[in-house]
Amino acid sequence: MASSQFRTSSSSQLRTVASATATAELFEHIVRSLYAASFTHQLNPAQWNALRYFRSAPANARSLKSFARHQLVADSTASQTIAALVRKSLVTKERDPDDRRGVVIALTETGHEILRHDPMLRLASAFAELEEEALTAAADVASRVAKRLFLMQDAEKP
């Protein structure tokens, strides 16, 4: 049972666990809020994520395989997301001039335009209001928590 992980013997440790749980719940609330806000402009969260990826990915990483690897999803899942964006005229797929078997994915002008309405901008704006020291600390905490979660996921794999 998950709660057995948190059995401790001192009141100090109990306060730390309570604080960690409250912080985790706050993070969950932020994530849920962003997720819910990401069903807008006829896009879903995965599609917004893909648009952000292809806006910032270097030219040699604008492929289905690179996108799937970055998102930690199967190629078929990434393919479905990209196909939806092609149907909506937000990205294009063209043959890679350096590898005729490969495809390069690029944002269209409409894709760039819709990113001006990216729900992630609300979160970025909230972070931008923090003082530099608090923003640096938030980035450090987020990075450390993400790394720890990935390590835990890897450890749980058979």
Q: What is the CATH number of the domain that holds 106?
A: 1.10.10.10
pLDDT value of position 2: 46
For the segment 8-21, the average pLDDT, to the nearest whole number, is 77
Residues present in the chain in total? 158
3-state secondary structure of 104: strand
97 with 66, same domain? yes
pLDDT value of position 9: 58
44 with 33, same domain? no
Give CA–CA dist 100/140, Å, rounded. 41
- Residue 7: pLDDT band (50, 70, 90) is low
| Stated pTM of the model | 0.83
128 with 112, same domain? no
For the segment 8-16, the average pLDDT, to the nearest whole number, is 71
* Residue indicated by tokens 């479905």: 80
Give CA–CA dist 91/89, Å, rounded. 6
43 with 113, same domain? yes
Q: Which residue has the higher pLDDT, 12 or 142?
A: 142
67 with 111, same domain? yes
Phi, psi (rounded to 5 degrees) for 151: -65, -40
For the segment 65-83, the average pLDDT, to the nearest whole number, is 96
111 with 126, same domain? no
Which residue range(s) make up the domain with 87? 39-117
62 with 112, same domain? yes
94 with 153, same domain? no
49 with 91, same domain? yes
112 with 130, same domain? no
Number of domains in the chain: 3
- Residue 3: pLDDT band (50, 70, 90) is very low
Ramachandran class of 42: left when φ > 0, alpha when ψ lies in -120 to 50, beta otherwise: left
63 with 112, same domain? yes
Instruction: Judge whether 111 and 48 are in contact, CB under 8 Å.
Output: no
Report the b/e string of 47-83 with b at 16+ CB within 10 A: bbbbbebbeebeeeebbbebbbeeeeeeeeebeebbe
25 with 57, same domain? no
